[in-house]
Amino acid sequence: MTKIELTVNGTQYSREVEDRTLLVDLIRDQLGLTGTHVGCDTSQCGCCTVHLNGRAIKSCTMLAVQASGAEIVTIEGMAKDGKLHPVQQAFTDCHALQCGFCTPGMIMAVAALLKDNPHPIDEEIYHGLEGNLCRCTGYINIVKAVKQAAQTTK
């Protein structure tokens, strides 16, 4: 067991974890933030995407102990003061989801993409979302939502 301290959505946490605990399991099971999903066991689906010190990472492919001292943002940390994040709003407006399981990871990936590239063209959107799979194949509306969010994100 190792003691770690980290900040998640602005709140500081201190926890004892087994060294082999994945970051996503810490987030879901110990912190109760179940918006971060696990869609595969092979690091391919991107459902577990969170921001680690401002960059998108797959929380299923990182140990909780590696995140000690880090600042994490999950889907629960995106809305501010009861107002959806522009990417969340765009996903709602464009109906950029079908079953919704991939959506938290998609939103975290899109928010990170727009931070690096505020006005991506279609090819850049495809390239930027290569780490996220939508098994409903609802990509058309996801791309629309990225474009809307690019317009509304300040």
Partner 1 sequence: MFEFNYLQAKSLSEAAAFVAANPDAKLLAGGMTLIPTLKQRLAQPSHLVDIGGLPELRGIEVKAGKLVLGAVTRHHEVAVSAVVRQALPALAYLAEQIGDPQVRNRGTVGGSIANNDPAADYPAAVLALSATIVTTRREIGADDFFHGMFETALEEGEIVVRLLFPLPQRAAYAKFPHPASGYAMTGVFIAETKTGIRVAVTGAGPGVFRWSDAESALAKQLDPAALDGLGVATDDMNEDFHATREYRANLVKVMAKRAVQKLLEIS
Examine residue 120 and tell whether it contacts partner 1 (CB under 8 A).
no
Q: Strand pairing of 2-8 and 71-73?
A: parallel
Residue 95 as a binder of partner 1 (CB under 8 A): the answer is no
| Sheet with strand 11-17: strands edge to edge | 11-17, 2-8, 71-73, 49-52, 55-58
Taking the complex as a whole, the smallest distance from the CB of residue 139 to partner 1 amounts, in Å, to 13
Of the residues 31, 58, 78, 125, which one makes contact with partner 1 according to CB under 8 A: 58
Is 134 a binder of partner 1 (CB under 8 A)?
Answer: no
In this chain, which of 6, 8, 33, 65 binds partner 1, going by CB under 8 A?
65
What's the helix, strand, coil split of the chain in %, to 5? Answer: 40, 20, 40
Site string for partner 1, 16-55 (x = CB under 8 A): --xxx-x------------------xxxx-x--x--x--x
Single out the residue of 133, 50, 48 nearest to residue 99, CA to CA.
133
Candidate list 8, 31, 47, 56; residue touching partner 1; CB under 8 A = 56
| Paired tokens of 47 | 């459902």
CA gap 64, 61 in Å, rounded: 10
Site for partner 1, rule CB under 8 A: 2, 18-20, 22, 41-44, 46, 49, 52, 55-58, 60-63, 65-66, 109, 112-113, 116, 128, 130-132
